[in-house]
Amino acid sequence: MSATTSREAYEETTRGAWAVGISVFAGTGLFIIGLFQLAEGFAAVLNDKVFINAPNWIFQLDLTAWGWIHVVLGVLALITGGALLFGKTWAMGVGIAIAACSTVTSFLFIPYQPIWSLTIIAIDVAIIWSLGDQLSRR
C-alpha cells in the first residue's frame, strides 16, 4: 500500500466522519428547534396572555395565528430532523428551508419573546451553516 493510497483512505474516512457528525448535529438541532417551536406555538394558541403585547410592532398578527404558524413549523422541523438522523439525503435541503423559515418567524416574533426568539435564531443559523457545508461537500 503506497503512502498516497493510505492518505486518500484517511481523508475519505475523515470526510465520512465529518459528514456523519454534521448530519447528527443538524438533525438533533432541527429536532430541538421543532420542540421549541411547538412549545412556543402551543403557548400562544392555548393562552396568548403569556406573551408581551407589542402594539407598535410593524408586523401585526394575532398571537393565536402566530401560535399555529409555530406549531406547523415545529411539526415540519421534527419530521425533517428525524429524517436527517435516519440519513435521508432529501432532508438536507428541506432542513435548510425549514431553518430559514424558523429564522424569519422567530425574527418576527422578537417583540413577544425576545430572548427565546434570539436563541432559536442562533440555533437555526448553526443548522443552516452545517447543512450548507454538508451540501457543498457533496
How far apart CA 21 and CA 27 sit, in angstroms, is: 10
How far apart CA 81 and CA 59 sit, in angstroms, is: 29
pLDDT value of residue 109 = 80
| pLDDT tens-digit profile, the chain (138 residues) | 555 566 666 556 665 666 667 778 889 999 999 998 898 888 888 876 666 565 666 566 677 887 898 899 999 999 999 999 998 889 999 999 999 999 998 888 887 788 988 999 999 999 998 888 888 776
Q: How do the domains of the chain map onto residue ranges?
A: 23-136
How far apart CA 14 and CA 120 sit, in angstroms, is: 30
Q: Rounded to the nearest 5°, which phi and psi values hold at 2?
A: -85, 165
How far apart CA 134 and CA 124 sit, in angstroms, is: 15
| Distances from the Cα of 28 to the Cα of 87, 101, 125, 132, angstroms | 12, 17, 14, 16
Least Cα distance to 91 among 102, 106, 79, 74 occurs for 79
Residue type, 82: G
- For 74-86, b/e burial (b = at least 16 CB within 10 A) is bebbbbbbebbbe
How far apart CA 65 and CA 109 sit, in angstroms, is: 12
